[in-house]
Amino acid sequence: MLTPPAPYQLRPLALTDLNQVLVIDALTFPTPTRAALFRHELTSNEIAYYQALTGENGRLLGFSGYWLLADEGHISTIAVHPDWQGRNLGELLLLNMLYLQCEQQAILSTLEVRRSNRVAQALYAKYGYELVGERPRYYKNGEDALLLTRHLAPPATGEMLFGAMRQALYGRL
Q: Count CA within 13 A, CB hemisphere, residue 74.
A: 9
E strand or H helix at 63, and its extent?
strand 60-69
Residue 12 has pLDDT above 90, yes or no: yes
Domains of the chain: 9-172 (3.40.630.30)
Q: How far apart are CA 67 and CA 96, in angstroms?
A: 14
Confidence tier at 155 by pLDDT (50, 70, 90): confident
Q: How far apart are CA 25 and CA 18, in angstroms?
A: 10
Q: How far lies 59's CA from each of 33, 63, 108, 114, in Å?
A: 21, 11, 32, 27
Q: How far apart are CA 6 and CA 25, in angstroms?
A: 24
**Tens digit of each residue's pLDDT (9 = 90 or more) over 23-55:** 999 999 988 899 999 999 999 999 999 999 999
Contact of 2 with 92, CB cutoff 8 Å: yes
**Tens digit of each residue's pLDDT (9 = 90 or more) over 114-153:** 999 999 999 999 999 999 999 999 988 899 999 999 999 8
**Tens digit of each residue's pLDDT (9 = 90 or more) over 56-103:** 999 999 999 999 999 999 999 999 999 999 999 999 999 999 999 999
